[in-house]
Amino acid sequence: MRIRIEPRAQPSRLMGWLSPLLAVVLTLVTGFLFSAFLGMNPVDAFHAFFVAPVDDLYGLGELGVKAAPLALIAVGLAIGFRSNVWNIGAEGQLTFGALVGGGVALWAYEMEGAWILPAMILAGALGGMAWASIPAFLRTRFNTNEILVSLMLNYVALLCLSYLVHGPWRDPEGFNFPESRLFSESAMLPVILEDTRLHAGALLALVAVGLGWVFVKKSFIGYQMQVAGLADTAARYAGFNRKRMIWMGLLIGGAAAGIAGLCEVAGPIGQLLPSVSPGYGYAAIIVAFVGRLHPVGILLASLLMSLLYLGGESAQMELGLPSAVTGVFQGVLLFYLLAADLFINFRIRGATPQGLRSPSKPAEASS
Amino acid sequence: MRFRRRPTRLRRRIRRRDYECLRGAYGKRCTLALAPPGRFAWLLSVMENGVGGMTNQNDPQVVGVAPRLELQDITKIYPAVVANDGVNLQVLPGEIHAVLGENGAGKSTLMKIIYGVTKADRGTVSWNGQEVEIANPAQARRLGIGMVFQHFSLFETLTVVQNIALAVEEPFDLDGLARRIVEVSERYGLPLDPRRLVHSLSVGERQRVEIVRCLLQDPKLLIMDEPTSVLTPQAVRKLFETLNRLSSEGCSILYISHKLEEIRELCHKATVMRGGKVTGEADPRQETASSLARMMIGRELPVCQHAPAPEGGEPRLVIAGLSRTSDDPFGTDLKDIRLTVHGGEIVGIAGISGNGQQELLAALSGEQPLDPHQTYEIHVNGESVGNLDPAARRSLGLGFVPEERLGRGAVPAMSLADNALLTAHRAGMVKLGLVAGAQVRAFADRCIETFDVRCGGHEAVAKSLSGGNLQKFIVGRELLQSPSVMIAAQPTWGVDVGAATTIRQALIDLRNRGVAVLVISEELEELFEICDRIAVIAEGRLSPTKVTAETNQEEIGLWMSGMFPGVEDEPLPDRQELIDAH
């Protein structure tokens, strides 16, 4: 018996929407088995992972704190992904956005004014865009692969930030720790929910989701980018400018990631550190796909991914599991999502060696 | 790996069968037709001939010749449409059997069921008198069914020989296979270079690959979906010889075509379908083209209304000495092409595919813009457009219907409404950067209604439409934008009689409104039906134009092989004048 994978004639649309949920359920089941295998009570583990982090207001606030940058970045990335622009460099764009926006905050140190925050957000967006423009330029000018370029630039951005906080931007009163000064009050995002750390960045993320929806579903340029993603030849036939779309895809993703980075340093962190993100730029790629590249789906997926982050921390504290457990769960989730998608678009069937089944045997018997 | 393991298993199977045959145990259970054609074909054919009679004697149910293929009560229901409704069909060994029907009549679906691409919801398929369930094309090929699709199933990034190797089940080496391809393709008058990449081939050449791929497998039943659409008259003759030879060797052929004359000449039997049902069977040799058409569309064959071209239209499309080296290493370089199309005339360009049509079209549409210094080589309405992109050229009044419908003229996975937006967005469909959904849907509906596009409304996905209906939609979309210059490539390729007439009439009506129309087609009949003047493209050179009434298919056929007189000096606007004008 040989196993074969063949495409389905009509993939189910319903299952296309259900597959993220299916992947979540399977991830939970795996978590259950996983904890049982480690000799823990699966119910306790489940509680520690998924309930304990969000059973009070502060926990819910934390959920928003982590979901906001993920949603923001994923919405931006999804716009590029829809037109086959594969920006894997959101982490670097986030870092560079944080660096430029944070630079404005440090420059405006001891200044006051309502203009500082908007200026920082703008600087963060420009920083992310500047970093994203490198792969865009190289792709449109020299036809380089934007996946590789944007990915490698992540490390460059991290090293730039590291140099600055170890050197020129190090806090003169910081006992030689590699940290910048703490941002002044006017350079911090206001908290929008009492007794939590939930800051105005969450509102920015919601605005981004709304704008993303309009862009994807209603705008002509969004339509053009979708055409380019689905059928490049048709886009060329229609005269849509491919280069402009590559630039748009990368710049929008870069701007979103840059703002997300700025919101991190101007929100929960409050200063520049050698590392400003626990891998949001990478996790957002998963979020974008779990959310089906649709802004509303991305919003839900970002909450889920945020819960995984919190659960991972909680599991470290309460169950003594290593911090890698967050990464494990992210990986398992993506694995199940891709597997579910495979089964939606393809079916597995065992072909008998003769290749001919007797007609009395139902066709589904071996599929 | 698969290729290596197969013959061992096959050999084992054959030995076992051989043994069973000797014991006389070879009965209904076992079918020889299972074995793949190829290395053991000779052995199998000996065995089949030797044992086949025995099987028939042993089985009283099969008296005389069992049909090669028999379909009973085949029903296939798609969400929007019943594609096949209780279809019965019987094909005898060696029979050339025509399946006739308009677009959406269900012919293609029926063929896909036979070839195992889709599964019927109801009904049975019998092969040589045995009920079989054809789960996939590989199994159909093992049964001995070959198919040449209307939409080709080739991998664009692979070469011809690699594509064919994918369907070959016995072990092979690519060089040997390439030699066989050359041999078979030359024998059947379908010249092919096995090393070329498929994406660089024209439609006509791709079809050759499909046909040759099937012929290499030594099929027992060959399904041909609109096979002659892109062949020269001479090549059609050769194909018919091939098909007749195959038929006399016992290979059955299911022949889907809309060319009634061809069916009358070639086929032994015809099954006519309309709306998913079989509406009649006939011996096409006893029928006239118009009686067949009546069975097929339920009324008289529509004829294009074609008045003589009005005189003295102004030059709308001017190609002033266009030369271009093809970017594609296998492509054809264009050499000093000169042509003027006036308002109110249809000019046709004939030629065998792969002689520069693609390069010329890409240069005219702007998908392959010219170098800046070549700006003045193409003019639309007096503007030099050589270095403009397709969108800018459309704004100047250029309409363009491309050769490929799915993936170029339309986005396969998008709805018709979204596909209307693809090029028609200039017609008030975009406001402040946002898409005006109501206008888009209204335009799509108007297009669907005006051009009788059979579909499930403007939400229907482009790839769910049959080729002809999608083409009507694309032609309609370009026409409704009121172009002043219209370029159409293979406008009725693979389109049935009714839809083809609609499209041709639409082009003629456009001409009558004073539009300059350029049609590039490989179908000579079509060009002679609608064009006022005809030119031929061969090896990247364009012949002088001839007034259609003053030439004939023989002369144009001769020109297609490159034997035409030097280009006479067409009265072109002076180059310097054109430059000064801007």
Q: What is the pLDDT of residue B17?
A: 37
Q: Phi-psi region for residue A41, left (φ > 0), alpha (ψ -120 to 50) or beta?
A: beta
Of A115-124, A128-137, B34-43, B495-504, where does mean pLDDT reach its minimum? B34-43
Contacts of A42 (CB under 8 A, 6+ apart): A31, A32, A33, A35, A36
Q: What is the pLDDT of residue B46?
A: 38
pLDDT tens string B43-70 = 333 344 433 333 333 333 334 578 899 9
pLDDT at A216 over 60: yes
**Interchain CB distance below 8 Å, A234 and B407:** yes
CB B543 within 8 A of CB B535: yes
Q: Residue B240 and residue B200: Cα distance in Å, rounded?
A: 27
Run of H or E residues at A180: none
pLDDT at B35 over 60: no
User: Which of A34-38, A89-93, A109-113, B160-164 is modeled with the greatest confidence?
Assistant: A89-93
Q: What is the pLDDT of residue B40?
A: 40
Q: What is the pLDDT of residue A9?
A: 64
Domains of chain B (ranges; CATH) run 2-52 (no CATH), 69-297 (3.40.50.300), 303-397+485-582 (3.40.50.300), 406-482 (no CATH)
Please report, as a single letter, which amino acid is at residue A41.
N
pLDDT tens string A77-97 = 999 999 999 999 999 999 999
- Most A CBs within 10 A among B78, B115, B411, B415, hence the mutation to make, goes to B411
Q: What is the pLDDT of residue B302?
A: 67
3-class SS of residue B337: strand
The residue in chain B having the minimum alpha-carbon distance to the alpha carbon of residue A221 is B433
3-class SS of residue B384: strand
CA distance A97 to chain B (A): 28
Q: What is the pLDDT of residue B581?
A: 47
10 Å Cβ neighbour count for B487? 26
pLDDT tens string B259-315 = 788 888 899 999 998 888 898 888 988 888 778 888 887 777 667 667 776 677 889
Q: What is the pLDDT of residue B370?
A: 78
On chain B, the residues whose CB falls within 8 A of the CB of A230 are 411-414
Instruction: Report which of residues B493 and A312 the model is more confident about.
Output: A312
**Interchain CB distance below 8 Å, B409 and A237:** yes
Opening angle at CA A81, ends A278 and A137, nearest 5 = 90
Answer whether B407 touches A (CB < 8 Å).
yes
CA distance B368 to chain A (A): 9
Q: What is the pLDDT of residue A352?
A: 45
On chain B, the residues whose CB falls within 8 A of the CB of A241 are 389, 391
Residues of A with CB under 8 A from a CB of B: 6, 9, 214, 218-221, 223, 226-227, 230-231, 233-234, 236-241, 349, 351, 353-357, 359, 363
Q: What is the pLDDT of residue B387?
A: 83
Please report, as a single letter, which amino acid is at residue A165.
V
**Interchain CB distance below 8 Å, A237 and B394:** no
**A154 exposure class (CB count in 10 Å sphere: 0-12, 13-18, 19+):** buried
Write the DSSP symbol of residue B390: H
Q: What is the pLDDT of residue B372?
A: 74
pLDDT tens string B93-144 = 999 999 988 767 888 889 889 999 888 888 999 999 889 999 888 889 889 9
Instruction: Report which of residues B496 and A131 the model is more confident about.
Output: A131
Q: Residue B227 and residue A331: Cα distance in Å, rounded?
A: 50
pLDDT at A196 over 50: yes
Q: Token pair of B373, please?
A: 């210094």
Instruction: Report which of residues A112 and A165 the model is more confident about.
Output: A165
pLDDT at B226 over 80: no
Q: Residue A184 and residue A200: Cα distance in Å, rounded?
A: 16
- Most A CBs within 10 A among B398, B435, B473, hence the mutation to make, goes to B435
Beta pairing class for B378-380 and B383-384: antiparallel
**Residue B9: band (very low, low, confident or very high) from pLDDT cuts 50, 70, 90:** very low
Instruction: Tell the residue number behind the tokens 């059947």, with chain if given.
Output: B188
3-class SS of residue B561: coil
Dmax (CA) of chain A: 84
Average pLDDT over residues B242-251: 85
**Interchain CB distance below 8 Å, A356 and B389:** no
CB A290 within 8 A of CB A297: yes
Average pLDDT over residues A129-150: 95
**Residue B24: band (very low, low, confident or very high) from pLDDT cuts 50, 70, 90:** very low
Instruction: Write the DSSP string, B258-306.
Output: S-HHHHHHH-SEEEEEETTEEEEEE-GGGS-HHHHHHHHHSSPPP----
Q: Residue A32 and residue B98: Cα distance in Å, rounded?
A: 61
Q: Residue B230 and residue B162: Cα distance in Å, rounded?
A: 23
Q: Residue B440 and residue B424: Cα distance in Å, rounded?
A: 9
pLDDT at A299 over 90: yes
**Dihedral sign from CA coordinates of B426, B427, B431, B437:** negative
**Interchain CB distance below 8 Å, A237 and B408:** yes
pLDDT at B16 over 80: no
CA distance A143 to chain B (A): 16
CA distance A285 to chain B (A): 24
| Average confidence score pLDDT of chain B | 79
**Residue B207: band (very low, low, confident or very high) from pLDDT cuts 50, 70, 90:** confident
Q: What is the pLDDT of residue A353?
A: 42
Q: Token pair of B445, please?
A: 């509906």
Counting DSSP H helices and E strands in chain A, the numbers are 13, 2
pLDDT at A74 over 90: yes
Q: What is the pLDDT of residue B325?
A: 86
- Most A CBs within 10 A among B422, B463, B481, hence the mutation to make, goes to B422
**Dihedral sign from CA coordinates of B256, B262, B266, B269:** positive
**Interchain CB distance below 8 Å, B135 and A219:** no
Point out which residues pair with B89 in neighbouring strands.
B71
Q: What are phi and psi of B423, to 5 degrees?
A: -115, -20
pLDDT at A10 over 80: no
On chain B, the residues whose CB falls within 8 A of the CB of A355 are 34, 135, 138-139, 142
Q: What is the pLDDT of residue B136?
A: 87
Q: What is the pLDDT of residue B53?
A: 33
Q: What is the pLDDT of residue B11?
A: 39
10 Å Cβ neighbour count for B449? 10
Average pLDDT over residues A133-137: 97
Q: Residue B250 and residue A198: Cα distance in Å, rounded?
A: 79
**Interchain CB distance below 8 Å, B31 and A356:** yes
Q: Residue B198 and residue B184: Cα distance in Å, rounded?
A: 18
pLDDT tens string B316-329 = 999 988 888 887 77
pLDDT tens string B354-389 = 788 989 999 999 888 777 777 668 889 888 888 888
Average pLDDT over residues B224-234: 72
Q: Phi-psi region for residue B351, left (φ > 0), alpha (ψ -120 to 50) or beta?
A: left
Q: Residue B344 and residue B475: Cα distance in Å, rounded?
A: 18
Q: What is the pLDDT of residue B234?
A: 67
Instruction: Report which of residues B30 and B95 the model is more confident about.
Output: B95
Q: What is the pLDDT of residue B319?
A: 92
On chain B, the residues whose CB falls within 8 A of the CB of A348 are none
**Interchain CB distance below 8 Å, B412 and A230:** yes
On chain B, the residues whose CB falls within 8 A of the CB of A359 are 124, 131-133
Q: For chain A, state the CA radius of gyration.
A: 23
pLDDT tens string B141-181 = 889 998 887 667 788 888 999 988 887 777 778 888 999 89
On chain B, the residues whose CB falls within 8 A of the CB of A218 are 434-435
Which H, E and C letters describe B57-113, residue by residue? HHCCCCCCCCCCEEEEEEEEECCCCEEEEEEEEEECCCCEEEEEECCCCCHHHHHHH
10 Å Cβ neighbour count for B157? 10
ipTM (interface predicted TM): 0.78
pTM of the model: 0.71
Cα B164 → chain centroid:
19
Average pLDDT over residues B339-354: 90
Q: What is the pLDDT of residue B117?
A: 87
Domains of chain A (ranges; CATH) run 1-39+322-353 (no CATH), 61-318 (1.10.3470)
Instruction: Report which of residues A205 and A315 the model is more confident about.
Output: A205
